[in-house]
Structure 1
Amino acid sequence: MWSSKNFLIIIILSVKIYEICSKNEIDGRFSCDFFSDPKKNYSLWTPKDQERKDLYCPESIRLSLRDKRIFCSCCSIPRWKYEQIRIGNLQLEYLNRRGKSFLLDSENQAVLHRIQKENGFLSALPINYCQFTTIVEIFLKGNLIEDLPPLTCLSELDTIDLSYNQLRFISNTSISGLKKLRRIDFSYNLITEIEPFTFNNIDHVIMMVDFSFNKLRTLDITNMVALKGFCFASYQGNGIKTFSNKSKYKVLKNQTFGDGGYVNLAFNKIQRLPDPAEFGMSFSDYGKLAFYKYLFDVRNNEIVCDCGLETFLRYALHVKDHWSIAGESLGLFCYYPSNMQEDLPLNDLLTPLYLDRLICNGTMPMPKGCNTYFQPSQNRIVINCTSADISTVPSINMTEFLQSIPYEETKTQFVNASVHAIFRNNSIKELTNTSYMTKAYVIDVSSNNINKLRVNALLSLPRYVDMDIGYNPELRYLPRHLQRMESERIHMKGIRLSCTCEDEMYKWLPEWLPRNVSFSPHCYTGNEEMYAKNVSADILGCTTGIKDFVLNAVIPLLLASTLITTLFLVSYVYRYDIYVLYRQYRHKYYSGDEMYLYDIYISMDESHPTLMRWLVSKFLPFLQYKGYKTYVPTRDLTPGEVKEEGIVEAINYSRCTIVFLTSGFCEEDNIWMEVEWRNAWKHYKSDLCSKLIVVNFDLVRFQMIPYRPMKAILRFQNDTLFSSTKFIKDITKKIGSPIGKKRIHNANRKPTFDISQLEPKLFSPSTRWQTGFTSK
């Protein structure tokens, strides 16, 4: 519900409200005479986004349409007042000295009624107030009323004044449903809590609400801003410190707000404004509350001017280009820190120079003399330990620092901020790695006693870091890891390096350093001193030795031989997988059918009853129906023929071998299945036109398979699962067309099939489902 333009920034625009109505700065009430027509003419006025059609607004001059809506929110009157309908005063009678009372109607001719009893000792509303539904005004100022009962029965109620009583709690059901209620005055009571959504709902918004000078310490945000326009809501003089959102209210993307109003929060103890993240918004949202609609008066509060306030003001810099605000401070008074306790004009407030002063100091432990703060205007976290007499790079608990930052959006900016670490003029001996090094944008360790730059610290620093390591007289060596950074951003003035052949800085430092030699450190070579930019192997007298030979020749050779050996070992271990993968993805061309006698050779466990039953009754008849010529050893071996020779011959004359993998295949005594598999794999390797299909009939576990080639086929899913619902379709697709049927090469083209090539006998009823168990 809030944005950077929607709350504090809107304080800036009080000038606009002051142009509309003259305001008494103490009680928040408005005078409507200044802009009214001197003739006192009224016209019918309908509030924006409300259904009321019984309000009349004075004719005004010099006001725009939007300004007139604001003016009418404060100055309109109900129809009964415009038409001067007679209001009867109800007579109030006490029932006892404890303040109990009831009402009498002494004026029977009145259409509407009023309750008025000020400075009495009433302890509650009259017991029979609901009998008079025509009550439009209640004036019970200065009594002893402690509770506010539900007033929903008073449907015509327009105004209620219970100021100077002893109310302590206001329920959101007390005045719900009163669509004609415009004015509430509960000031000068003892109220400590107001329930959420007490004064605004979807149907109606009360236009004038006064809760001044009560005992509120927390204010719910739903009672500050309405979805429809209103005149004012005053909470001044309560001692409010914080804001709540008990109903977990979130602003919806399609919600729109009215013309706003004046919210008086002066003379409280407010330190920080509500966090927009609690309402599902960010500071940069502009569509919910336009910055010129609301005026939030926060004068005489304990405003903390830190990084959280900067987040609000940052989006208000352009306001002074659109509004006349010269010389107006509008109550923005910094209570903390003490060096900012000044009432600044807005022209000074909304400047980058002022925003730079809005920082959050770190609260975590720090070395004496160090100062850490977050400066959101520059998007940086500054760690300043200049002349702090420290000997090591300090460690900062960024998590603890983050917890002290207000507002979720400011926390996000903190997380993304860069770190500026200033450690100049100390006694630091080593640049060590710390948690904030990865976010460093500037790091200054000049004028220290640094003799070593830790490699892990250099690797943690970003490539774009601006680092000053100058004037460290004990720094003699620069690690090569410094080369990953931009040399133009590394300041090394006043460094005297010790350049030798052993440290090998001559190999990279001259090329890395910037061309401008004034930024170059000095090199002492043993005989003379020169710019490090000019040092070379010839000047140092370095020769290529065994170390260079090892680095330049032996190591690359070892790496190459290691790579070749690794590739050879991998190729050997996975030789079957590589071959199966090759056969799976190569383009296959058939050399002709004349070399084959059979389409399919079927290898199976003859002792497996389920498999045999399925083959005989289902699978073989289907293949015969499709025109495939099959060879089954159990059926087709000639009596007296040598079994192994018959198996080898049949496999070699078969275009496709189907192996039904069962649990019996893994048993050692199954000799013939082993013979079949060995010859099938041999034929698969020798004949590139052949096919080898594995059907995992028993869903045998991968680890139980004894043959590595079969594992390779399974690994690349070149097998066919018997459990698949598309088994028949998959198996025929892998086998291909029967021998003798027209076929084209499988070269990334859709296959064609001539139905005239089918044998007519395949469709005869007598042969369709024959088992086909005949000798070959």
Structure 2
Amino acid sequence: MNFLRYVDLSHNILKYIEPGLFMNMDGSLLWFDASYNLLTSMDVTNILRTKQPGFCRADFSFNQISKLTNELRWECKEDTQFGNGGLVDFFGNSFSDFFDFSELGFKNFFLFGKLLYYTFDFRGNKWTCDCRFYPFALKATLFAEKLDRDIYYLKCHSPSELKNVSLPELMKSKTLDLLICNLSIADRCPPNCRCFYQPARTRTVVNCSGTEKTKLPSALPFKTDLEVDFSNNQISRIDNESVILSYSHTITSIDLSYNKIENLPDELFYKLRNTKKINFSGNKMKKIPRALQALKPCQIYLGLIVLECKCEDTWIQNWLPSSHSKCYNNTRMFCYNKNELVNILSMTNADLGCKFYSEYILWLTISLAVIVFILAVSSTIIFYFRFEIFIMSRKLMKYLQTSEVRLELYTYDVYISCSEDDANLRRWLTSTLVPFLENENLRVFLPFRDSEFGHPREEEIIETMTKSLNFVIILSEHYDDYSETWIEKEWKYAWFNYKSDSQREIVIINYDMLEYKDIAKKYLGAFLKLHSFIDFSNNTKRINEEVYNSLQHVHKTVRKKSNKSNYHNSFKNNVIELETIMESNIKLKHHDKNCSSSEL
């Protein structure tokens, strides 16, 4: 093959040439003639040669070739070399649609410049000059003045308006925008409409103007940059499921002028915010929705509109452009005023029927006043019953949530606050309630029994209450001044610990049948208001059990008390009981002495 120079296969019935035959052939084949055969396609690897320094002619003229192929998926690289080339003749074939260079291996069109010394003759074919021809024609304008090639002298066969027009003539007349591709119903073009893709202006046009349509179609072409024209029809409505809303993200221009549209949905304006041109002029608009403010005045054409203007239309005055604006005539709105048509921009608020206090402002004022009143009353009620609300919410939380109380957090289970001046009360505590609670394995702190001698009283109250889980407060009628001071401090610290720790509990025993108004501290009176207390007069038999059931209990292992501890507490209780009896006897002797003196 190194010495083969001439191959003539013309005037045969050759139908196919194997791809890659010439591209990788080593040798110096100067002339290859396959003209006047039955070839229908030609692979790019049989046109270009990378291993020969050059050739004279590759003749494929007068066949039936309609397309160029790339069956081997060959691709031109930056280091690919084609030598000095030669003439490739495709004269008189069946080409019509221009080929895509990227499919032929030239992903970058500028790599096509490597074929500088090649000459291609595609004359004598019936070329369709449409959108597929545009990319080549556009790039050719960059080289045509500096580089003359026969390929530039292609002539269009269709469409009819471009018949026999050559590529140089197209470039000189700057009519590349005539290179379009028509779309059919299969491409979702609506019936009786003309649709085409125009790459020179980067748009797809859907022209349904004057087709007597009464409603919008259900579909549009799946293309970007749609310019839709439905002007001069009989369309009367646009609903929320309209095709315009569905394709709003691809529509750049829409014309619905001179139809019978009376109302426009609010959603339409929000969907068309990015549309460059919107034309609704020449319709029968009766009302302009406020959603129109989503668009710019220069973005939409509404033409001349006559309205029954009201006060709520004052926003239109702020939206419309001034008379000096370039889009002043896009939308002009007039109102009936005293049987005359007046431009809305010239009308005052009084002309539009606005009052200083409109109904909206009146209702708004009333609503705000009602809200303020409700808030004030609610705040007063909440403040007045704040302690009751807090106690009820605490009880509700305990009912809904069950949490385990940790034993190590508390030294005492019960702290008892009572009047130490009442001998009968002390006797009941030391002989009945406290022994009962301690027998239930509860750790009880009784101040007049368990306080350390000589220890500062208030410090001891604070320290002990901080370590106590429950506070049993016994309300009595009479206190001396000294006892009342310490009792009120115990109440204060009991309430503070109760508020700060949701595990703690306060149990009120109404010893002297007091009412809430008799209690100086409102937070304790709140328990009486809510009837959350133990009535001593009605529970003499079951009071111990009721106190025990009202307490918050820790989860702990029951341990039997030591004899020493029992003996110690028993000793203390006996001493206190002895003191109580002696105090009662002293009071009785004083009483007898006073009676004897009276008799004398």
Q: Which of 277, 282, 285 pairs up with 1:471?
A: 282
Q: Which residue number corresponds to residue 209 of structure 1? A: 32
Task: For residues 386-423 of structure 1, give each alpha carbon's deviation from its aligned partner in whole angstroms, at most 9, with x where no partner exists.
Answer: 22211223344424xxxxxxxxxxxxxxx55x222222
Is residue 446 from structure 1 mapped to residue 257 from structure 2 by the alignment?
yes
Is residue 289 from structure 1 mapped to residue 107 from structure 2 by the alignment?
no
Task: For residues 442-501 of structure 1, give each alpha carbon's deviation from its aligned partner in whole angstroms, at most 9, with x where no partner exists.
Answer: 2222222111223333232243521222121x1122222222222113222222233223
Is residue 389 from structure 1 mapped to residue 197 from structure 2 by the alignment?
no
Q: Which of 64, 69, 85 pairs up with 1:244?
A: 69
**How many angstroms apart in 1 are the aligned matches of 2:192 and 2:175?**
25
Q: Which of 97, 112, 129 pairs up with 1:272?
A: 97
Q: Which residue number corresponds to residue 424 of structure 1? A: 231
Q: Which of 354, 365, 368 pairs up with 1:542?
A: 354
* 2:36–2:62 Cα contact (<8 Å) kept: yes
Is residue 512 from structure 1 mapped to residue 319 from structure 2 by the alignment?
yes
Q: Which of 338, 341, 352 pairs up with 1:529?
A: 341
Q: Which residue number corresponds to residue 58 of structure 2? A: 233
Alpha-carbon distance, 1:310 to partner: 1.3
Indicate the SS of the match to 1:286: helix
**How many angstroms apart in 1 are the aligned matches of 2:366 and 2:96?**
71
* 1:256–1:288 Cα contact (<8 Å) kept: no
Aligned AA (1:531): N
Mean alpha-carbon deviation: is it higher for 344-353 or for 265-274?
Answer: 344-353
Q: Which residue number corresponds to residue 358 of structure 1? A: 179
Indicate the SS of the match to 1:312: helix
**How many angstroms apart in 1 are the aligned matches of 2:335 and 2:318?**
18
C-alpha distance 330-276 of structure 1, shift in aligned 2 (>3 A): closer
Q: Which residue number corresponds to residue 483 of structure 1? A: 293
Q: Which residue number corresponds to residue 333 of structure 1? A: 155
Q: Which of 459, 476, 484 pairs up with 2:270?
A: 459
Q: Which of 157, 166, 169 pairs up with 1:348?
A: 169
C-alpha distance 505-207 of structure 1, shift in aligned 2 (>3 A): farther
Greater gyration radius: 2
Indicate the SS of the match to 1:540: coil
Alpha-carbon distance, 1:346 to partner: 4.4
**How many angstroms apart in 2 are the aligned matches of 1:211 and 1:359?**
34
**How many angstroms apart in 1 are the aligned matches of 2:267 and 2:310?**
24
Q: Percent identity?
A: 27
Task: For residues 498-556 of structure 1, give each alpha carbon's deviation from its aligned partner in whole angstroms, at most 9, with x where no partner exists.
Answer: 3223xx3322x22221112544422324534222334454321124545456779969x
Q: Aligned runs of 1:115-130 on 2, under 5 Å?
A: none
Aligned AA (2:111): G
Q: TM-score, normalised by structure 1?
A: 0.43
Q: Which residue number corresponds to residue 61 of structure 1? A: none
* 1:299–1:330 Cα contact (<8 Å) kept: no
Task: For residues 702-737 of structure 1, give each alpha carbon's deviation from its aligned partner in whole angstroms, at most 9, with x where no partner exists.
Answer: xxxxxxxxxxxxxxxxxxxxxxxxxxxxxxxxxxxx
**How many angstroms apart in 2 are the aligned matches of 1:209 and 1:548?**
93
Which segments of 5 or more consecutive residues in structure 1 lack a partner in the other structure?
Answer: 1-177, 400-414, 562-602, 604-641, 643-681, 683-776
* 2:263–2:285 Cα contact (<8 Å) kept: yes
Greater RCO, CA 8 A, separation 6+: 1
C-alpha distance 302-345 of structure 1, shift in aligned 2 (>3 A): closer
Which segments of 5 or more consecutive residues in structure 2 lack a partner in the other structure?
Answer: 376-407, 409-441, 443-500, 502-600
C-alpha distance 524-336 of structure 1, shift in aligned 2 (>3 A): same
Q: Aligned runs of 1:648-663 on 2, under 5 Å?
A: none
C-alpha distance 279-512 of structure 1, shift in aligned 2 (>3 A): same
Alpha-carbon distance, 1:308 to partner: 0.5
Q: Aligned runs of 1:135-284 on 2, under 5 Å?
A: 178-201=1-24, 206-227=29-50, 229-279=54-104, 281-282=106-107
C-alpha distance 546-315 of structure 1, shift in aligned 2 (>3 A): same
Alpha-carbon distance, 1:352 to partner: 5.8
* 1:374–1:382 Cα contact (<8 Å) kept: yes
C-alpha distance 357-201 of structure 1, shift in aligned 2 (>3 A): same
Is residue 318 from structure 1 mapped to residue 153 from structure 2 by the alignment?
no
Is residue 298 from structure 1 mapped to residue 122 from structure 2 by the alignment?
yes
Aligned AA (2:293): Q
Aligned AA (2:201): Q
Aligned AA (1:542): C
**How many angstroms apart in 2 are the aligned matches of 1:505 and 1:483?**
12
**How many angstroms apart in 2 are the aligned matches of 1:454 and 1:352?**
45
Alpha-carbon distance, 1:345 to partner: 4.4
**How many angstroms apart in 1 are the aligned matches of 2:106 and 2:204?**
25
Indicate the SS of the match to 2:267: helix
* 1:386–1:423 Cα contact (<8 Å) kept: yes
**How many angstroms apart in 2 are the aligned matches of 1:198 and 1:329?**
24
C-alpha distance 323-275 of structure 1, shift in aligned 2 (>3 A): closer
**How many angstroms apart in 1 are the aligned matches of 2:268 and 2:302?**
17
**How many angstroms apart in 2 are the aligned matches of 1:462 and 1:254?**
49
C-alpha distance 318-248 of structure 1, shift in aligned 2 (>3 A): closer
C-alpha distance 221-324 of structure 1, shift in aligned 2 (>3 A): closer
* 1:470–1:494 Cα contact (<8 Å) kept: yes
* 1:433–1:454 Cα contact (<8 Å) kept: no
**How many angstroms apart in 2 are the aligned matches of 1:552 and 1:323?**
81
Aligned AA (1:289): G
Aligned AA (2:314): Y
Indicate the SS of the match to 1:311: helix
Report the number of matched residues. 372
C-alpha distance 367-278 of structure 1, shift in aligned 2 (>3 A): closer
Indicate the SS of the match to 2:278: strand
**How many angstroms apart in 2 are the aligned matches of 1:554 and 1:296?**
84
Q: TM-score, normalised by structure 2?
A: 0.54
Mean alpha-carbon deviation: is it higher for 372-381 or for 516-525?
Answer: 516-525
Alpha-carbon distance, 1:264 to partner: 0.8
Is residue 499 from structure 1 mapped to residue 324 from structure 2 by the alignment?
no
Aligned AA (1:497): L
Alpha-carbon distance, 1:440 to partner: 2.4
C-alpha distance 462-225 of structure 1, shift in aligned 2 (>3 A): farther
Q: Aligned runs of 1:759-774 on 2, under 5 Å?
A: none
C-alpha distance 536-291 of structure 1, shift in aligned 2 (>3 A): farther
Alpha-carbon distance, 1:259 to partner: 3.4
CA RMSD of aligned residues (A): 4.1
Aligned AA (1:264): D
